[in-house]
Amino acid sequence: MPVAPNVSDYDSLYAGFSWETEKAGLSGLPNGQGLNIAYEAVDRHAMGALRDHIAFRWIKKDRSVRDCTYQELMELTSRFANVLGELGITKGDRVFAFLGRIPELYIAALGTLKTTAVFCPLFNVFGPEPVFQRISRGDGSMLVTTKDQFEKKIRQLLERLPQLRYVLLTDAEQDESGQVRSLPRLMEKASAAFTIPTTAPEDPALLHFTSGTTGLPKGALHVHKAVLVHYVTGKYVLDFHPGDIYWCTADPGWVTGTSYGIIAPLVNGVTNIVDEEEFDATRWYAILEEQKVNIWYTAPTAIRRLMRMNISPREKYNLEHLRLMLSVGEPLHAEAVTWGEKTFGMPFLDNWWQTETGGIMIANYRSMPVRPGSMGKPLPGVEAAVAEVTDDSFSIITEPGKDGHLVLKRGWPSMFRTYLHDEERYNKCFRGDWYLTGDLAKRDADGYFWFVGRADDIIKTSGHMVGPFEVESALMEHPAVAEAAVIGKPDQLIGELVKAFVVLKPEYQPDEALKLDITAHARRKLGPAVAPKEITFIDNLPKTRSGKILRRLLKARELGLPEGDLSTLEQP
Ligand code: AMP
């Protein structure tokens, strides 16, 4: 039986939409005690009709499967919440997780939210330096990780992280010290019953770090009220229906993996598939088949890899359950949308959002005709526009097809509430009622939005944001490096690759061996996902008169593009 889409007519839904009305789909804490993400995602289902429904199906690397019902998830997350209470973690404290896609990650996330402490995920392949930056900037009180990660990357940081009170190891049988504890032991002793305390909708819930062009990573703080956007986008964009089996391939180290790999599907009461393994085309197709996935949310990098493989999945795999395929994180080119149509019998529906927005803001909807290459139309409840922005002026562009800054009218529930310890930077993101996203876009005459590019130097590699400054800082720690500048170089597969231009100290000679040594140093410090994939030695870096590296110019030269306005260049 075909499933009718939840959005039957986008225009009338948009016109009549109200966040207040949509709230009826959430329960709120018993006795009017507020709104808590974990209660909406887990407990209310566990105490209702979905008690025995599978919340998570975790697929391990060896393909074995562990199911967890909403009732079991309630108990596990309550145990974790009690562990935090036992260790004195209280409201607002920051609990970090540095884990792969294993059950403990999901239990820690939801258990932390139950206690009103703030959950902060770290991408599992980060090297020690990005981990240190984020835990120290985020004032982490606790870190949940594995023995292996602890030994390889964390132990060396402990002295520099005096605020970190506890490290909980998911796979240690015994406590190592008062600070480094065995999570399984603590969980065993903890009660499986926990009453979620009063949670104000504006209480902080999640901290997600995102990369900036300059300076340290920015900690975008989100509140419990964000769950309303997770619920609404789950219903209208991901088109969740009762009984659906859903797979989001994003890692919870990034915001998509948290908002849409944990919260949105559970709030909507569907079954969430999690695969511990990294991308593998045949494994992915097999999962779609075996798990009878109905809704698949993935990313352009993965889609491009699949496109290259020359597998005709519908000939080899039974994908009859698949109803909807979506993509986020980078521009989804028109070819990928039409490849979806040809290969799976349905397009990939692109949608746009970012760490700061907390949830999907612009999307293609199942019932709306797709314009391949477009990000779609604003979520009902969200006002998006294109604006002309200069240092001292701001005006909305009404003319269709004209490029400008993509801006959103402030006020959607999952909007970030601050950059931690950087209110000034936060305030700079707003012009009156409008939030400046940092992206450039255009809007066509029918209201579809088209991505044009980023307004800054941030790199999107394999769907992950990398700030050039962070990479440059690590490179500069190598004894041979005098200066470094990092750009994103377009790459067919991973969107952009991290490319570094390095100026050597006078006593060093540029050669292959040194390049390899600098590369190895960067990989050790930053991890392979962030470290440069290409390094070029250069005599001088182009800079502005005020001393800022002109990455834009390096990029133009690298790509053979026009060099643009060079009026601020120090040495033309
Ligand atoms: P992040 O904060 O890491 O989620 O990255 C957000 C950024 O990724 C956005 O500001 C865009 O630059 C880019 N992005 C996300 N989704 C899309 C999309 N559908 N099309 C083009 N760029 C996207």
- pTM of the shown model: 0.90
CA of 420 to the centre of ligand 1 (A): 21
- Is position 565 within any domain? no
pLDDT of 572 reads: 43
- Is position 157 within any domain? yes
Nearest CA to ligand 1 atom 23: 330
CA of 455 to the centre of ligand 1 (A): 12
Give how many domains the chain has, as a whole number: 2
Q: Which residues contact 512 (CB under 8 A, 6 or more apart)?
A: none
| Domain end position, chosen among 443, 478, 498 | 443
Give the model confidence (pLDDT) of 72-111 as tens digits: 999 999 999 999 999 999 999 999 999 999 999 999 999 9
Give the model confidence (pLDDT) of 125-148 as tens digits: 899 999 999 999 999 999 999 999
Pocket of ligand 1 contains residue 251 by CB under 6 Å: no
Mode of pairing for the β-strands spanning 348-352 and 324-327: parallel
- Please tell me whether residues 380 and 481 are part of one structural domain: no
CATH of the domain at 525: 3.30.300.30
231: pLDDT strictly greater than 80: yes
| Domain end position, chosen among 388, 410, 443 | 443
Pocket of ligand 1 contains residue 328 by CB under 6 Å: yes
- Please tell me whether residues 485 and 426 are part of one structural domain: no
Which residue range is the domain that position 488 belongs to? 458-559
CA of 272 to the centre of ligand 1 (A): 23
The answer to whether 390 and 23 have CB atoms below 8 angstroms apart is: no
- Please tell me whether residues 414 and 479 are part of one structural domain: no
The answer to whether 374 and 364 have CB atoms below 8 angstroms apart is: yes
- Please tell me whether residues 328 and 471 are part of one structural domain: no
Q: Atom of ligand 1 at shortest distance to CA of 454? A: 12
Q: Which two tokens stand for residue 265?
A: 């599907």
- Is position 564 within any domain? no
The answer to whether 99 and 177 have CB atoms below 8 angstroms apart is: no
Q: What is the mean pLDDT of residues 532-544?
A: 91
CATH of the domain at 281: 3.40.50.12780
502 - beta bridge partners? 484, 537
Instruction: Count CB neighbours of 47 within 10 A.
Output: 15
Instruction: Count CB neighbours of 537 within 10 A.
Output: 18
Burial string for 85-96 (b: 16+ CB within 10 Å, else e) reads bebebeeebbbb
Pocket of ligand 1 contains residue 255 by CB under 6 Å: yes
- Please tell me whether residues 416 and 491 are part of one structural domain: no
Pocket of ligand 1 contains residue 354 by CB under 6 Å: yes
- Is position 5 within any domain? no
Rounded to a whole number, what is the distance in angstroms from the first to the last CA of the chain?
66
- Please tell me whether residues 236 and 93 are part of one structural domain: yes
CA of 133 to the centre of ligand 1 (A): 23
Nearest CA to ligand 1 atom 22: 330
Task: Give CA–CA dist 469/466, Å, rounded.
Answer: 9
- Please tell me whether residues 66 and 100 are part of one structural domain: yes
Task: Give CA–CA dist 261/254, Å, rounded.
Answer: 10
- Please tell me whether residues 433 and 471 are part of one structural domain: no
- Please tell me whether residues 387 and 430 are part of one structural domain: yes
Pocket of ligand 1 contains residue 439 by CB under 6 Å: yes
Q: What is the mean pLDDT of residues 175-192?
A: 98
- Please tell me whether residues 227 and 332 are part of one structural domain: yes
Residue with tokens 């496109």, as numbered in its chain: 307
In this predicted model, which residue has the larger pLDDT, 160 or 466?
Answer: 160
- Please tell me whether residues 253 and 356 are part of one structural domain: yes
- DSSP letter, residue 198: P
- Please tell me whether residues 207 and 145 are part of one structural domain: yes
